Amino acid sequence: MGRRIGIEVSIALADAVKLANADVIAAYPITPQTHIVEHLAELVAEGELDAEYVPVESEHSALSACLGSSAAGARTFTATAGQGLELMHEVLYVASGMRLPIVMAVANRALSSPLSVWGDHSDAMAVRDTGWIQVFTENGQEVVDQIICAFKIAEDHNVLLPIMVHLDGFHLSHVIEPIEMPEESDVCEFLPPIHSPLTLHPSKPVAMGDFAPPVVFTEAKWAQEQAMSGVKKTIIQVWDEYAQKFGRSYHPVECYKCEGAKTLLFTMGSFSETAMSAVDSLRAKGVDIGLIRLRLWRPFPFEEFRAAVKGVKTLLVLDRSISSGGPGGPVASELKAALYNEADKPAVVSFIGGLGGRDITVDGFEQLITDGMRIAASGTDKEYEMIGVRE
Amino acid sequence: MAKQEHELTWKDIEIGAAVTEPGSAAVYKTGDWRSQQPSYDFSRCIKCGICYIFCPEGCIHQNQKGFFEADFFYCKGCGICAYECPTRVITMREETEK
Ligand code: SF4
Ligand code: SF4
């Protein structure tokens, strides 16, 4: 059994990367990711982690350095947030196209302008189509567990795709939580050393990231997409193995007090815990409400999601970013698309809130649920509701 | 030899679309943008091989009768062979002429 300690989530995350025995870390510090890479730099400098720490001059270079190290077969980690993730944008496609199992922590942050260092999901949504696996976490324990699982998932030979572990900036990255840190020996058993089937090596030369004319690009993309569609199976397998070894289980879609509920609130990330308290309090008042939380955002778990909302009348969705000029929040539109062909689909009420680090309290969630149920009953002409905006 | 690109199915694509077999650029078809092609009157050919030496594509080979001929998979129709041939064996024709 591991040790349960009070620790800042960013520091615990860095310790998890150490437990995973990463070989190369290339990163550029950016708020609110800073503590993660600062602590990793310290661990390397003090000889506690035998890894190469590559200080770079931008996030574009950080991920480019990761490309090289991962292509050479090294277990590779980086972390970023907000603008940094955007600066990596074009390299994100290169990493997934080259099928490199890079693990990246993203301390989610709003995108400028106006300049904000605080958290929301606009950075995660801006990169949702880049071919990376995306996992959202809800508390510090999950961050540690998911980082360790991420290496095992990404490096699995059926996967070989890069993965982002999202944690909400400040709301999660900068809080001190009681976290059970797994034993190094247990992590060693759970996570075998990296062994990539195709690496850069002088004795067996290969060319990676090559030129693909129109005659073969479609086939290359389809091959990549076939790998992506098999990912969910491996993820579930890895999470099950983790549960057996460490006693904490994770699922692509998770339900809280959903039994028989006709209305479900849908959240992703750290707000899920606040939403749970709101559900508890409303349930105590006799309101028929449950909570559904998404852990796996890419690839989207269509089957599990549809099964979880079967028989539900109303789905209230909270998005923490805007699809500008679009149909509402990006998550809400995804859910609508997932349900479109279903015969008995719930009505989807789309809310946008918690932007740029704004808190949503338990009361706020209760208000959202009450408003959502009213809108579902009476209808609305708006595509979405922006919550907490001053008129 | 590796399959031609147009023959590859998605299942043939290596992980990350990597290229594991070196030298494959040698089989790229380079003659498809040609607008003229050499045609031959071998009755005047002295088999000197000058056209063979000068062809910048390296695409001229000797046929069974010992005459030098272009491989149209690679010939880009530059006309250098026709210019260099001392006995005027080679004339350049529009690609559309037969
Ligand atoms: S036309 Fe140019 S490319 Fe074609 S055979 Fe002659 S020299 Fe070579
Ligand atoms: S240069 Fe002219 S004469 Fe000499 S081999 Fe070529 S075609 Fe024949």
**Do B3 and B44 contact (CB within 8 A), yes or no?**
no
Q: What is the C-alpha to C-alpha distance for residues A294 and A135, in angstroms, rounded to an integer?
A: 9
Phi and psi, residue A5, nearest 5°: -135, 155
**DSSP code for B55:** -
Instruction: Give me the residue from A205, A215, A224 closest to B5, CB to CB.
Output: A215
In chain B, which stretches have pLDDT less than 50?
1
Give the model confidence (pLDDT) of A260-316 as tens digits. 899 999 999 999 999 999 999 999 999 999 999 999 999 999 999 999 999 999 999
Q: How many CB atoms lie under 10 A from the CB of residue B38?
A: 25
Please tell me the predicted confidence (pLDDT) of residue B1. Answer: 45
Q: Which amino acid does the sequence have at A306?
A: R
- Where exactly does CATH 3.40.50.970 map onto chain A? 2-246
Residue that has been written with the tokens 């990404």 in this structure: A154
- Where exactly does CATH 3.40.50.920 map onto chain A? 254-386
Print pLDDT tens along chain A (391 aa): 688 999 999 999 999 999 999 999 999 999 999 999 999 999 999 999 999 999 999 999 999 999 999 999 999 999 999 999 999 999 999 999 999 999 999 999 999 999 999 999 999 999 999 999 999 999 999 999 999 999 999 999 999 999 999 999 999 999 999 999 999 999 999 999 999 999 999 999 999 998 899 999 999 999 999 999 889 999 999 999 999 999 999 999 999 999 989 999 999 999 999 999 999 999 999 999 999 999 999 999 999 999 999 999 999 999 999 999 998 899 999 999 999 999 999 999 999 999 999 999 999 999 999 999 999 999 999 999 999 999 9
CATH 3.40.50.920 fits A254-386, yes or no: yes
**Do A141 and A180 contact (CB within 8 A), yes or no?**
yes
Residue that has been written with the tokens 């690109």 in this structure: B5
CB within 8 Å: B16 and A97: yes
Cα–Cα nearest to A311, from A363, A354, A260 = A260
Q: What is the C-alpha to C-alpha distance for residues B46 and B96, in angstroms, rounded to an integer?
A: 28
Please tell me the predicted confidence (pLDDT) of residue B3. Answer: 77
Ligand 2 centroid–CA B30 distance in Å is 23
Tokens representing A223? 């091959």
CA distance readout (Å), A302 to A65, A225, A232, A305:
34, 16, 10, 5
Give the model confidence (pLDDT) of A202-256 as tens digits. 999 999 998 899 999 999 999 999 999 889 999 999 999 999 999 999 999 999 9
CB within 8 Å: A208 and B13: no
Pocket lining: B48 vs ligand 2, CB cutoff 6 Å? yes
Is residue A243 packed enough to be buried (19+ CB in 10 Å), middle (13-18) or exposed (0-12)?
middle
Q: Which residues contact A92 (CB under 8 A, 6 or more apart)?
A: A63, A85, A127, A130, A131, A132, A162
pTM attached to this predicted model = 0.85
Smallest CA–CA distance, residue A26 to chain B, in Å, is: 21
Q: How many CB atoms lie under 10 A from the CB of residue A45?
A: 10
Give the model confidence (pLDDT) of B4-25 as tens digits. 778 999 999 999 999 888 766 7
CB within 8 Å: B10 and A209: no
Hey, is the C-beta of B25 within 8 angstroms of any chain A C-beta?
A: no
Fold of A2-246: Rossmann fold (3.40.50)
Is residue A78 packed enough to be buried (19+ CB in 10 Å), middle (13-18) or exposed (0-12)?
buried
Best residue among B33, B35, B78 to mutate for probing ligand 1, ranked by most atoms within 8 Å of CB: B78
Alpha helix locations (H) across A30-105? Answer: 34-45, 59-71, 82-87, 89-97
Cα–Cα nearest to A51, from A28, A17, A100 = A17
